[in-house]
Chain A
């Protein structure tokens, strides 16, 4: 089994911690001990993953859409970790490899340095960095839908230029069929991934640069 398959199988049974898996943190290691000193944070980061990305009842927000948004979000932010492969494989499992690849391509084409965006606060207008807002047509993504196209646009906004967010962006989602409850879940999913990939990137940097005492 690949690491991703192991991770997914264990997640489903509720035992593997995704952040540990993506960082290859092993039981009893220094990083494991440190993470467990914030046990409530560790356990609930995992529970957030399960609630948002591996829910028992996905309701009206199907797993195929959740994983497509997740893969797009992680690919867009160019995380160098195994997180991208992980979410691409989940997307592929729920859809097919062609669809997963088109989501990844869409995200790669939209990559840029972030965060940018305009300040509405007059004292900071000089710090405004106007930038790209993406518009997706469902026809550009085979196997996609107007609903998913709107969600990917929102993932781009929240991931790269969240200070550009305005009520009109929620109207865009609403017009594509997203209810208020679903918009909250979609927003949590995208925002949670911003957290998860940063924890992973941060812990990997720490693991790659052990303190001099530990290497002696």
Chain B
């Protein structure tokens, strides 16, 4: 019998949104009761233990653990570099280009939370990575998009634009890491399950 889960009836989102979305897996996550000690440690934090996505990825605990530590440092290390909202814009732009509605919802919401610029963030979702977002966000979003495309379109032009927008080399490396990391995350989110609209929003 196939272990692949398909959902005939699912409340799917109609497009990119900053509202919170759910995500359902196409392969069975490890149940909380069945987690080994190694798997619990790899999940690091209680909120990941509650998540189907992370309990699916924990089928390879070492890979999940290393990936999570990379993720956390790129996006939350407070020492120097790019402002946190801008790192979320790099993540959101990659997600917008790849078409990952779930990742985009999480990271545009964080960009709004960090910056208070909900309308700018919404334009990125509605119009795409060429939308007017203000100089610094525009060049970060477009550089992230250039690095997301295949073959890579990221080169001297992007570096110059990022410098002209005031980014130092450490900030440019944060933008590169943020965009690159979401090319990892988007591919997992898009291919191991799909987004849903939570019931409480559906009623509203």
Interface residue total, chain B, C-beta cutoff 8 A: 71
Closest Cβ–Cβ distance, residue B13 to chain A (whole Å): 6
In the complex, are the beta carbons of B190 and A163 less than 8 A apart?
A: yes
Q: How far is the CA of A34 from the CA of B154 in the complex (A)?
A: 19
In the complex, are the beta carbons of B184 and A191 less than 8 A apart?
A: yes
In the complex, are the beta carbons of A44 and B190 less than 8 A apart?
A: no
B179 CB–A CB distance under 8 Å: yes
In the complex, are the beta carbons of B150 and A183 less than 8 A apart?
A: no
Q: How far is the CA of A150 from the CA of B188 in the complex (A)?
A: 17
Q: How far is the CA of A127 from the CA of B126 in the complex (A)?
A: 11
Which chain B residues lie closer than 8 Å to A30 at the CB level?
Answer: 169
Closest Cβ–Cβ distance, residue A108 to chain B (whole Å): 12
Q: Which residues of B contact A (CB under 8 A)?
A: 2-6, 12-16, 26-28, 56-57, 59-60, 62-64, 66-67, 69-70, 72-74, 77, 79-81, 97-101, 128, 147-152, 154-156, 158-160, 163, 168-170, 172-174, 176-177, 179-181, 183-188, 190-192, 194
Q: 22 pairs across A/B with beta carbons < 8 Å?
A: A31-B169, A38-B77, A38-B177, A40-B70, A40-B72, A77-B150, A113-B150, A115-B97, A119-B99, A162-B99, A163-B98, A163-B99, A170-B26, A183-B27, A184-B57, A185-B63, A187-B188, A188-B188, A191-B187, A194-B184, A198-B148, A205-B155
Closest Cβ–Cβ distance, residue A25 to chain B (whole Å): 11
In the complex, are the beta carbons of B27 and A209 less than 8 A apart?
A: no
Chain A, Cβ-Cβ closest to B190:
A162
Closest Cβ–Cβ distance, residue B155 to chain A (whole Å): 5
Closest Cβ–Cβ distance, residue A212 to chain B (whole Å): 8
Chain A, Cβ-Cβ closest to B7:
A167
Q: How far is the CA of A26 from the CA of B80 in the complex (A)?
A: 22
A165 CB–B CB distance under 8 Å: yes
Q: How far is the CA of A183 from the CA of B25 in the complex (A)?
A: 13
Q: How far is the CA of A38 from the CA of B180 in the complex (A)?
A: 15
Q: How far is the CA of A31 from the CA of B81 in the complex (A)?
A: 13
Q: Which residues of A contact B (CB under 8 A)?
A: 30-31, 34-35, 37-41, 43-45, 47-48, 51-52, 76-80, 111-115, 117, 119-124, 127, 154, 157-160, 162-163, 165, 167, 169-171, 174, 180-181, 183-185, 187-188, 190-192, 194-199, 201-203, 205-206, 208-209, 211
In the complex, are the beta carbons of A188 and B57 less than 8 A apart?
A: yes
A211-B191 contact, Cβ under 8 Å, with A113-B149, A159-B150, A195-B183: no
